Amino acid sequence: MSDNVHRPLIAVTVGRDLPDRPSVLRLTENYVRVLTDAGAIPIVVVPGIDVAAVQYVMERVDGLLLPGGIGAPDPHPRRFGEEPRPETVIDADLDALEIAAIHRAVRLGMPVLGICRGCQILNVALGGSLIQHLEPGDVSHLPDLPLNAEAHELRLEDGSRLAGLSGARLLRVNSLHHQAIARPAPALRVVGRAEDGVVEAVESADPDRWITGVQYHPEELTSQPAHRRLFEDFISWSARYAADRDQERNVSA
């Protein structure tokens, strides 16, 4: 994709660096690197803009990436009918931004990739719920390890998009989360779990839609082809979405 005209634009949501620096917006550089390496142009979308502005942006981009990372806040549990636990850290403006972006992207048929918090807010926006806090157990989901270190197994469903991209049904992945999906949204199906049963990956229930959420951090593991292919496939589908949209606009012009 050497010609910028054919490089898909990917909206990337960013939130505040809570709780230490609430006036600072945060985005890990590896998200930018992995998108540009795959041939895309990331477009940062910030909290505090109204729904009409979010929709305006989404109608001009080709894919949506919902990131996570160190210090990422939790989706507000009232959005799935619960009150916050003491461990829950909330950024209501980021929730509003991402939910508006998800709803518009889904309505437009745009590819969506959610990572860590992004996987959780994707599930909440589409009608699912979360485990607010994972108690210590056989698997540590918030280990004291570098983010590029493998922490536990990922067991993938046969026939899932992720299994096809990775060429395997069993992977080792990193981990940095204290919440996880409880009830999957009706539009999503669980396709990956850790060895303790915690949900680690979801996909669209419609195989013709590219909607994927992963609880781990593949942007930190792209030296491995299985994780790099996830981003390459996301960008490929985003480029296809852009081409189809442009063709429709040319026909209607």
Average pLDDT over residues 67-83: 93
**Domain containing residue 182:** 4-252
Average pLDDT over residues 169-197: 97
Pairing of strands 180-181, 112-115: unpaired
Average pLDDT over residues 206-230: 96
* Confidence check: pLDDT of 242 > 60: yes
* Confidence check: pLDDT of 227 > 50: yes
Share above pLDDT 70 across residues of the chain, in percent, rounded to a whole number: 98
* Confidence check: pLDDT of 65 > 90: yes
Q: Which residues are catalytically annotated?
A: 116, 217, 219
Three-state secondary structure call for residue 248? helix
How much is the pLDDT for 253? Answer: 67
Per residue in 171-183, pLDDT (tens digit) is 999 999 999 999 9
Average pLDDT, the chain: 94
Average pLDDT over residues 74-95: 95
How much is the pLDDT for 70? Answer: 78
* Confidence check: pLDDT of 5 > 70: no
Shortest CA distance to 62 belongs to which of 246, 211, 238? 238
* Confidence check: pLDDT of 205 > 90: yes
Give the total number of structural domains in the chain: 1
* Whether the Cβ atoms of residue 97 and residue 150 lie closer than 8 Å to each other: no
* Confidence check: pLDDT of 19 > 80: no
How much is the pLDDT for 4? Answer: 54
pTM of the model: 0.95
Q: Indicate the Cα dihedral angle 181, 23, 99, 217, nearest 10°.
A: -40
Higher pLDDT, 14 or 251: 14
CATH code, domain carrying 163: 3.40.50.880
How much is the pLDDT for 17? Answer: 84
Q: Indicate the Cα dihedral angle 148, 166, 238, 2, nearest 10°.
A: 80
Average pLDDT over residues 69-87: 93
How much is the pLDDT for 1? Answer: 44
Pairing of strands 170-173, 21-26: unpaired
- As beta bridge partners, residue 213 has 114, 202
